[in-house]
Amino acid sequence: MKILSDSRIDDGVLEHDIAVGEAPGILWTPPGPGPAPLILLGHPGGLNGMTPRLRTRALDAARAGFASAAIELPGSNGRPPLPGVDQARHDLQRAIRAGEPVSDDVVDRLILPLADAAVPEWRAALDELLALPGLTGPVGIAGGVVSIGVRMAAEDPRVAAAVLFAGSFVPGRILAEARAVTVPVLMLLQRDDEHNDRRAALDLFDALGSAEKTLHANTGGHTGVPRFEGESTNRLFTRHLRR
């Protein structure tokens, strides 16, 4: 991992531009002594455009004493395209424009290659980030493509809690993998999300194997998650990352 630049932003938080292998990313570290627990911030791709929203989430986390990091998704923002994903995205958009149901085949071709590529990168990023002197585990994950979050929570033992944003399509394979998730989970669901299949989100919540899982449903569209849910997120991570 390379740290490419540093800048100090609100409340003394340091923002570092980083590169993890081929993936650009951003690391935010809070002020104060001692190592900070790390939260991986997910997003839908296009890190440059997402940075303002991610920075807001990172500042909320820093006020609770957490560091945060985000890395660009495979196939996004100039990274090499994933085979078949662009065609699957085209097929998805065509079905939505036509008012047709999105087939399981399209969902699988769109989401599974992304999860297959992203999860190993997230795990490799954790290897390098947790080697930095100012960061420590256990780790939290929050937001982004829900299938990536589910697989990370199921597979990586360093993940101690997860905040999942309902609102992206979930393949049947990921629904099956959700049964292996045992860490505490908070799922955020936007009731009026124009792209969300609410029944599918509830099916995913039911499938999670966690003994501690909570669902918050709020009014509003896809990007309208209330700011106060940042407090809910911090409470979850405070309970489970500060051992």
pLDDT at 91: 96
What is the dihedral angle through the alpha carbons of 148, 150, 152, 154, rounded to the nearest 10 degrees? Answer: -150
> What SS3 state is found at 218?
strand
pLDDT, tens only, 28-82: 999 988 799 999 999 988 999 999 999 999 999 999 999 999 999 999 988 999 9
Element containing residue 94 per DSSP (H, E): helix 85-97
Residue bearing the bigger pLDDT, 54 or 221: 54
Contact 129, 38 (CB under 8 A): yes
Domain ranges of the chain: 2-79+118-241
Phi-psi group of 143: left, alpha or beta (phi > 0 → left; psi -120 to 50 → alpha; rest → beta):
left
Contact 190, 216 (CB under 8 A): no
pLDDT exceeding 90 applies to what percent of the chain? 74
pTM of the model: 0.93
Q: How far is CA 39 from CA 67, 70, 192, in A?
A: 6, 9, 27
Query: What mean pLDDT is reported for the chain?
Result: 92
Please state the φ and ψ torsions of residue 36, each to the nearest 5 degrees.
-110, 140
Q: How far apart are CA 202 and CA 206, in angstroms?
A: 6
Contact 125, 2 (CB under 8 A): no
Q: In this structure, which topology does domain 2-79+118-241 adopt according to CATH?
A: Rossmann fold (3.40.50)
**How many helices, marked H, and strands, marked E, lie in the chain?**
7, 9
pLDDT at 243: 64
**Burial classification of residue 65, based on how many CB atoms lie within 10 Å of its CB (0-12 exposed, 13-18 middle, 19 or more buried):** middle
pLDDT at 196: 72
pLDDT at 101: 87
Of 64-68, 122-126, 156-160, 195-199, the one with minimum mean pLDDT is 195-199
Whether residue 242 has pLDDT greater than 90: no
pLDDT, tens only, 132-183: 999 999 999 999 999 999 999 999 999 999 999 987 889 999 999 999 999 9
| Structure token pair of residue 208 | 């999670």
Whether residue 233 has pLDDT greater than 80: yes
